[in-house]
Each structure stands twice: as structure tokens, then as C-alpha cells.
Amino acid sequence: MNKDNTYILWKVNGLITKAEIIEQPYSGQFKERIYGISNSWNSQDCTWIKFEDENYNEWCGQFEGAHQALALSSKHNKILVATFDYLFQIDCVSGEMTDYEPTNTYKDLTVTPFGDFIIADYYHIEIIRESINDRKLLDIPIQMDMIKFNGWSENKLSISCEELGVVDSKVELELDATTFEINILSRIYK
């Protein structure tokens, strides 16, 4: 076991350039690395991430907890993996887990066109820069619930949610990645 609680079965040979959530691979299909946190509260679920480095080598990482979201920032050379148990931070150069946070609240994660992470739990949206400890809560125009990121159009992130406390509401919002302002585009009440 490594000092960061990972079992090393594979050493990164180049900068990680791709990461994707996959189903549990067949035994021996990929070289594997287990990113484990010793905690009696861990769930029995695992998330499997397939990584690819700049030399097109593929390998897999196993993470504690069922998958929620994944994002890679080339600007910060970091990957964030959100599971029901933890938020993991992986260094793209070494493949090492450089930090983690016990949590089960993060529901969505993306990277701005400028390379910063945007993460959401049920009720809040935050920007994460250099590390998971370098974050800022964004101002939101309404009380939000069930936040979902729908994708980028240039520097604008489409967001949908429900208005907290309003049954059968649907709100469409837009986050501007240059100002980090969030504006309401539409509200539908059934």
C-alpha cells in the first residue's frame, strides 16, 4: 500500500489525458490501481474509471463508492472523481491521489472552458480551482434543488433544477464562466 492509501498495480507512464466512468472490467482486462480510503463507513459500491495517458496506455482505477461524476482539468492537471462516499482528487502527471473529502452530496461536476471545476450538490454550486480545498460558493438567484449540468455552449453552462420548496417546478439557468454569474432563463410551474 502506498502512503496515500492506494494499491499500486500500475504506474503512470505519461500525462493522463482522458478519464471515463466504466462498468467493472473483466479481471485482467486492464492494469489496475485501487484508490482506497480505510474507513468503516465506506459503502460496498465501487466506481471504475478508465484512464488513458498521452502515450495511449489505458489502465483502470477503482474508487470507493458508487459513481456520481468525473471531470478532468488540463489547466490544473487534476481529475476530480465524485462518488457517493468521497470526492477524490487525482494528479494527472503522477496518477497519485493528492487529496480527498468524505462526502455523499455531490451530484454533478464539469470543467469550464478555462479549466476550472464547477461542482454541485443538491442545493449549491461551487467553483474549484487549484485543489478541492481552493473553492468558492457561487451566488445563486433562487433556492435550488436537484441541480443538473446540461452542457456548455461556448462560455455558458446550461443548468436545470427545481426551485426548493416548489412542487413540480422546473427552472432553466445559465452560468457565465467569465463572470460566474448565474441567471434564470425560464421557470415552469405545473
Q: Could you read off the pLDDT of 18-43 as tens digits, one per residue?
A: 999 999 999 899 999 999 888 888 88
Same domain as 143, residue 67: no
pLDDT in tens, 115-155: 999 999 999 999 999 999 999 999 999 999 999 999 999 99
Q: How far apart are CA 131 and CA 146, in angstroms?
A: 25
Exposure b/e, 81-117, CB count within 10 A at least 16 = b = bbbbbbbbbbbbeebbbeebeebbebbbbbbbeeebb
Same domain as 9, residue 80: yes
- Which residues of the chain form beta strands (DSSP E)? 6-8, 16-22, 31-35, 46-53, 58-64, 67-73, 78-83, 86-91, 97-102, 108-111, 117-120, 125-128, 135-137, 144-153, 156-163, 169-176, 182-189
Same domain as 82, residue 48: yes
pLDDT above 70 (res 11): no
Same domain as 74, residue 1: yes
Same domain as 32, residue 109: no
Domain count, the chain: 2
Same domain as 112, residue 93: no
Give me the mean pLDDT over the 73-80 stretch. Answer: 97
Same domain as 173, residue 81: no
Q: Which domain-ending residue is among 102, 125, 157?
A: 102
Same domain as 147, residue 82: no
Residues in the chain: 190
Cα–Cα separations (whole angstroms), residue 142 to 122, 161, 181: 13, 10, 13
Residue-number span of the structural domain to which 92 is assigned: 1-102
Q: Which domain-ending residue is among 73, 102, 131?
A: 102
Same domain as 113, residue 98: no
